[in-house]
Structure 1
Amino acid sequence: MGNADLRDIAVIEDVSFDELDGSVVAVDAHNWLYRYLTTTVKWTNDEVYTTDDGTEVANLVGVVQGLPKFFEADVTPVFVFDGAVTDLKDDEVKRRREQREQYEDELAQARKEDDPVKVARLESRTQRLTDVIVETTRELLALLDVPVVDAPAEGEGQAAYMARKGDVGYVGTEDYDALLFGAPYTLRQLTSSGDPELMDFEATLDEHGLSWEQLVDVALLCGTDFNEGVRGYGPKTAVKAIREHGDLWGVSEAEDIHVENADRIRDLFLDPAVTDEYSIETAIEPDLAAAREFVTDQWEVDADEVARGFERIESSVVQTGLEDWT
């Protein structure tokens, strides 16, 4: 179980990037980065993004290749970085670490067997966001004058808060728990080659006759990043139970079940730690020359690998009227 189960009840429709013209998207930075990081590692020779001392900075390739999609649609991305991790997520962090360690063992065996296909697949699965990856990403975004926000806790919670305030039009993430944080509109598939999906919060509530609190209760029954689900409760079963009994506590009493830390997890989604200390400037003035030097000279990324991305960034900024390149 988990938040992916929310897809079964979420109201989602395709949307064209043309319809997003002039909008601002609060992007879950860690989620977006991880998608590009794994893709770059899977499909690119590691010599392209590995420095002489062995440091991997595939993220820089991902950033240069991924930003044009926003700029070409005249969309301003605002990258929201995670802050402190709640102790409620300890079990999930442990599970992911154990899974990565298993993949690392399998990767070592695949290299021993000289299986390049399996090696490429497992290399992408063992990726993690190191301090170097996060720091170099932030430095590159600064050179490109892309807005950055530091969340006090969950990046998605901060992004959803910004969207509810009206400071941004959309939240950008692959995770369905943006619904649980109350993001009015969520864009998924921002790292794919096609148009994104639009997940509608109010339409989802209306579709199932739920309140925001009840939607969170549904997720608690199914399972989230912060708790295991209750056996026998898929999304549709959970919706039915919550509608019948009113809330999680009504279900717990009527059906003799228990969700550990339910109060704390509920509050985490309904009242997340957020900050108002951010500013969003859509008239960006990126320094293309400095950004290219940072990527190819300082961090030794193959210039040919990012040349097209920089060309697209420059061209799209000029086309959308942001001509103050230095």
Structure 2
Amino acid sequence: MGNADLRDLAAIRDISFAEIEGSVVAVDAHNWLYRYLTTTVKWTADETYTTTDGVEVANLIGIVQGLPKFFEHDLIPVMVFDGAVTELKADEVADRREKREQAEERRVAAKERGDAVEAARLEARTQRLTDTIQETTRELLRLLDVPIVEAPAEGEAQCAHMAATGTVDHAGSEDYDTLLFGAPTTLRQLTSKGDPELMDLAATLDDLGFDRQGLVDAAMLCGTDFNEGVRGIGPKTAVKAVREHGDLWGVLDARGVEIPNAEAIRELFMDPPATDVDVDTAVNPDVDAAREYVVDEWGVAADEVERGFERIAESQVQTGLDRWT
């Protein structure tokens, strides 16, 4: 569920890292990376992640700062990258591009008037995953021996498929789409301080008295990344309407409204493009090679990443000791 309002419908509970240690997590890589990328840009001087020829690789700092959270809690991340953009998502992509362009115009204006704080905040909102960011992210993950999966389409759908088929223990995303795509459990707050949250599909359906199709129908009435919702319908109203009229079509008929491409969107959530994959979870990071790549090859300031690399190295030693005790 791209629509955060639908959090009200999901069964979500706090969970300790101790409860999930040893788990393999299929992480929505674009979602995870973007959060660390924007945070880095917002709070870090740009000269620390900009090469001499002006190429920005703030992603490298974000990755080194974000991965230790997995390793220190004995979690194996499997980074799942988006494939081809689903045609149904074209409007959402165009809207995001327009918002980035508007933020860029405001950033330039803030910089011209000397408002460095506002300029940094707006610059974080203009970030996109460039070809360089995509390539360097994959290479750094490879050096750190983090498994990578290339999804045929939506990364969240591939994560959900991997969790549903038992390839991994959980999906991992800050968004809610994995629930609609059928992930039995999703770990959230993996980019935040403190313990994560567990979003549970079976508990959600039990609470609502729906099957997954009913949940998808309610979500579509509220609005998803693939469609605008029906005016005047929020989460509670959507659930009530689906219960009263049986399904999405009954609600739309009763209200005399339409959702463009509704059948295709419904089918996308219920049976999304996804592939079966094999994942090698015997992770053995080459911290020295990764450090050389980030600092020597890309010129990232060493003091911005050294503590992250130290934490990764220390976590591997500690995890090995724990497994022998």
Where on the TM-score scale, by shorter chain, does this alignment land: which range? over 0.9
Q: Distance in 2 between matches of 1:105 and 1:253?
A: 43
Q: Distance in 2 between matches of 1:263 and 1:79?
A: 30
Q: How does 1:20-39 map to 2 (within 5 A)?
A: 20-39=20-39
Letter paired with 1:319: Q
Letter paired with 1:249: W
Q: Distance in 2 between matches of 1:283 and 1:94?
A: 40
Deviations 1:296-316 (A, max 9, x none): 011110111100000000000
Q: Distance in 2 between matches of 1:322 and 1:119?
A: 46
**Aligned residue for 1:142?**
142
Secondary structure of the equivalent of 1:98?
helix
Q: 1:96 to 1:286 in 2, by over 3 A?
A: same
Shift of 1:176: 1.0
**Aligned residue for 1:152?**
152
Letter paired with 1:272: P
Task: Please provide the CA RMSD for this pair.
Answer: 1.3
Structure 1 segments of 4+ aligned residues over 3 angstroms from their partners: none
Which has the higher mean CA deviation after the structures are superposed, 30-39 or 190-199? Answer: 190-199
**Aligned residue for 2:234?**
234
On the 8 A contact 2:173/2:186 being kept in 1, the answer is: yes
Q: Distance in 1 between matches of 2:89 and 2:321?
A: 41
Q: Which residues of structure 2 form unaligned runs of 5+? A: none
**Aligned residue for 1:267?**
267
On the 8 A contact 1:2/1:222 being kept in 2, the answer is: no
Q: Distance in 2 between matches of 1:103 and 1:285?
A: 40
On the 8 A contact 1:28/1:155 being kept in 2, the answer is: yes
Asked if 1:218 is matched to 2:214, the reply is no
Shift of 1:2: 5.4
**Aligned residue for 2:123?**
123
Q: Distance in 2 between matches of 1:144 and 1:280?
A: 15
Q: Distance in 1 between matches of 2:280 and 2:22?
A: 13
Q: Distance in 2 between matches of 1:219 and 1:322?
A: 45
Q: Distance in 1 between matches of 2:210 and 2:321?
A: 43
Q: Distance in 2 between matches of 1:57 and 1:68?
A: 19
Letter paired with 1:33: L
**Aligned residue for 2:66?**
66
Secondary structure of the equivalent of 2:210?
coil
Secondary structure of the equivalent of 1:321?
helix
Deviations 1:56-75 (A, max 9, x none): 10110011111110001110
On the 8 A contact 1:283/1:322 being kept in 2, the answer is: no
Q: State the number of aligned residues.
A: 322
Shift of 1:322: 8.5
Give the TM-score of the pair, scaled to structure 1: 0.97
Secondary structure of the equivalent of 2:279?
coil
Give the TM-score of the pair, scaled to structure 2: 0.97
